[in-house]
Amino acid sequence: MPPAQPHRPTVAIVEDQQAITELLTEVLQDAGFAPVAAPAIPEAAALVREVGAVVILLDVMMPEMSGWQVLDELRAHPETRDTPVVITSAVYDRPGLHPLPPGGPVRFAAKPFDVAGLVRTVAELSGS
């Protein structure tokens, strides 16, 4: 019988750029996480709730809705209210530029990414 696979914490990626989603997926898989892409669509918050992510990477500037709208929806639901979120953006890379709804921790990761720093942040927030 093969050895049991260790639990890989699920990380949701809400991003409208396919190349960034692919990069984050590969980096997170290599770091021992189970990344799941949640398309940047109005139903993104519902999809994130379905996968039970322990951390959410959330782009701010997306075509159909903003990451802030998704964050508001996530914080409105008990299942995702306290889930840590990493806001990813080339524009909103510092706290205080947008009022944050109450809930779990929020970190900021500026694009272009410091990949090692982003992985450390996800590991810290996931308890890994």
pLDDT in tens, 84-98: 999 998 875 455 566
CA gap 121, 29 in Å, rounded? 15
CA gap 104, 91 in Å, rounded? 22
> What's phi and psi for 69, nearest 5 deg?
-65, -40
Q: What is the pTM of this model?
A: 0.88
* pLDDT tens digit sequence for 5-26: 568 999 999 999 999 999 999 9
Residues facing residue 109 across a β-bridge: 88
Parse the chain into domains and list their residue ranges. 10-126
**Percentage of the chain modeled with pLDDT above 70:** 89
- Tell me, which fold does domain 10-126 have in CATH? Rossmann fold (3.40.50)
Length of the chain: 128
